[in-house]
Amino acid sequence: MDWDVHKSAPARAALAETLGSLRGLGVPLDRGALVPYARLAERTAALDLDQLDGIDDPLELAERALLLTLLLEPALMALRRMAQENESARRHGGGRP
């Protein structure tokens, strides 16, 4: 993806560990399978940083970035789960509860 990420970034290790676990369980994901997810992550990162636009105070900026990281991430995962449920119902039928 030609991203500028430090070689010791914790996310690198987390990604490698997760991919290794998947591989060990017989679910290898190659580059082609990950690129669409990486593109979504790029767009999400841009939206994240858009939330910080216009904040000039460094302390307020750091606080907002931390809050968005800690609190928005679970909301994004919840949205993903709901979208998966919706897509599964769309593809495989099933009525609404």
Read off the pLDDT of residues 27-72 as tens digits, 9 standing for 90 and up. Answer: 988 889 999 999 999 999 999 999 999 999 999 999 999 998 899 9
Determine the Cα–Cα distance for residues 44 and 79; give it in Å rounded to an integer: 13
Which pLDDT value is given to residue 22?
A: 94
The region of weakest confidence among 20-24, 29-33, 50-54, 75-79 is 29-33
- For residue 96, the model assigns a pLDDT of 63
User: Which pLDDT score, from 0 to 100, does residue 69 have?
Assistant: 87
Distances (CA, A) of 58 to 44, 49, 52, 63: 22, 14, 11, 9
Identity (one letter) of the amino acid at 78? A
Mean pLDDT calculated for residue range 19-27: 94
Give the torsion through C-alpha atoms of 83, 69, 40, 37, to 10 deg: -80
Q: What's the mean pLDDT when you consider all of the chain?
A: 93
DSSP helix/strand/coil, 63: helix
